[in-house]
A = this chain, B = another copy of it.
Amino acid sequence: MSDRTAATPPASRNDARRGARPTVRDVAALAGVSIKTVSRVVNGEKTVGQLLVDRVRAAIDELGYRPDHAASSLRRSDGRSHTIAVVLEDLANPFSAAVHRGVVDTARARDVLVLSASSDEDPADEHNAVIAFTARRVDGVILMPSTGDHRWIRAELTAGMAIVTVDRLIDGLDAVVTDNRAAAARATMHLARRGHRRIGFLGDLHHIYTAGERLLGYRDALRDAAGEDDEALVRQDLRGSAQAEEATIELLTTSEPPTALFTGQNLLTIGAVRALRKLGLHHEVALVGFDDVELGDLLAPGLTALAQDPAEIGRRAAAQLFARIDGADTAPLVQVVPARLLPRGSGEIPPRGADPKVKR
């Protein structure tokens, strides 16, 4: 449509192809040296005479030359792409987003770039993402594995790909996870200490690793605190806040309702808060939620939460991945990042009848 002068690079001595980037050859021609000398200057080798260095630098500036990273790593002996990938359940989820940021920050310190994808808990999408990343020869992948068959991972490992999982475990792989079971036990115990004996549990899909661990922790605490381990108090396989809201309403309108709730995930916590509001029970029924939620401290009562540290999880996973890429040949390492219990009101409500007024 427009004539070609519109976008022709002003300094290009190359052919007039639009947007054609100058190469080492163009720089070498302009500087009157060999391409090898250009390569030496670009890579900061110290063996080039100052005169030539200056001429090459000038030519690079004049042409706006930028080395082609892919071409250089194709021939380089280390064979590294200096790129890693991260596959998370949902990049828009605050937990995943913070993990991602931790990974990117750690990678940047090493001049490594980061590709990313969301799996949405779909094993096929997850595998396809890893296949696409493999084609780009990424040096490693950080994976929040979906629930599903991961036998395909063997082939990647064999081909030399480094893999570290976050949030969940895969047998034989490095991982960085929260102390799910212990933290869930602490949360449940926190409620039991206030005198609660009937504590409800709301959980995500039971086959998700974190959901299972958190249920185990809940039961650990019930056992230790002589709470009632009643199947009627447990609601699992809840997806999203709407289902959690329904389940909470149903649970609290049974003949023997719990006096406290432990919710195993941030969306479930939000659903439970909604339900308690609807029932007018938010100052009567205690609540501790796994995962902190933005504004949780501003609710009335404030939300007592187990805050994970997703950015730290991301940073540690990236550090471990780089250790593997650098050749660490040790046994698989599972790192546990503890969650912190933040008492802010909702978890300190005593059982119904014990003390009707709750202080802000």
A contacts, CB < 8 Å to B: 1-2, 7, 9-10, 18-21, 64, 66-71, 73-74, 81, 83, 90-94, 96-98, 100-101, 104-105, 108, 111, 113-118, 131-137, 155, 157-161, 270, 273-274, 277, 293-296, 298-300, 311, 329
Whether A91 lies near B81 (C-beta < 8 A) is no
Whether A64 lies near B158 (C-beta < 8 A) is yes
Please name the residue on chain B nearest to A101 by beta carbon: B92
Please name the residue on chain B nearest to A6 by beta carbon: B329
Give the shortest distance, in Å, between A157 (CB) and chain B (any CB). Answer: 8
Task: Please indicate the chain B residues that have their CB under 8 angstroms from the CB of A10 in the complex.
Answer: 158
Task: Please indicate the chain B residues that have their CB under 8 angstroms from the CB of A137 in the complex.
Answer: 21, 68-70
Task: Please indicate the chain B residues that have their CB under 8 angstroms from the CB of A117 in the complex.
Answer: 104, 108, 113-114
Q: Which of A1, A20, A92, A136 has the most CB of B within 10 A?
A: A92
Give the shortest distance, in Å, between A174 (CB) and chain B (any CB). Answer: 15
Interface class of chain A by DSSP? mixed
Give the shortest distance, in Å, between A256 (CB) and chain B (any CB). Answer: 27
Instruction: For the complex, give the distance between the alpha carbons of A137 and B20 in Å.
Output: 12
Instruction: For the complex, give the distance between the alpha carbons of A67 and B117 in Å.
Output: 20
Whether B21 lies near A159 (C-beta < 8 A) is yes
Instruction: For the complex, give the distance between the alpha carbons of A2 and B293 in Å.
Output: 45
Instruction: For the complex, give the distance between the alpha carbons of A100 and B253 in Å.
Output: 41
Task: Please indicate the chain B residues that have their CB under 8 angstroms from the CB of A133 in the complex.
Answer: 113
Instruction: For the complex, give the distance between the alpha carbons of A277 and B158 in Å.
Output: 58
The 19 listed contacts between A and B (C-beta, < 8 Å) are A10-B158, A21-B137, A64-B155, A64-B159, A66-B131, A66-B135, A74-B74, A92-B100, A94-B97, A94-B294, A104-B118, A108-B117, A114-B116, A270-B294, A274-B298, A277-B298, A294-B294, A295-B296, A299-B300
Instruction: For the complex, give the distance between the alpha carbons of A329 and B4 in Å.
Output: 11
Instruction: For the complex, give the distance between the alpha carbons of A111 and B115 in Å.
Output: 13
Instruction: For the complex, give the distance between the alpha carbons of A97 and B89 in Å.
Output: 13
Whether B92 lies near A135 (C-beta < 8 A) is no
Instruction: For the complex, give the distance between the alpha carbons of A19 and B70 in Å.
Output: 19
Task: Please indicate the chain B residues that have their CB under 8 angstroms from the CB of A277 in the complex.
Answer: 298
Task: Please indicate the chain B residues that have their CB under 8 angstroms from the CB of A1 in the complex.
Answer: 329
Instruction: For the complex, give the distance between the alpha carbons of A270 and B294 in Å.
Output: 9
Whether A70 lies near B136 (C-beta < 8 A) is yes
Give the shortest distance, in Å, between A342 (CB) and chain B (any CB). Answer: 15
Q: A135-B67, A295-B270 are in contact. Are A91 and B104 (CB under 8 A)?
A: yes
Give the shortest distance, in Å, between A148 (CB) and chain B (any CB). Answer: 19
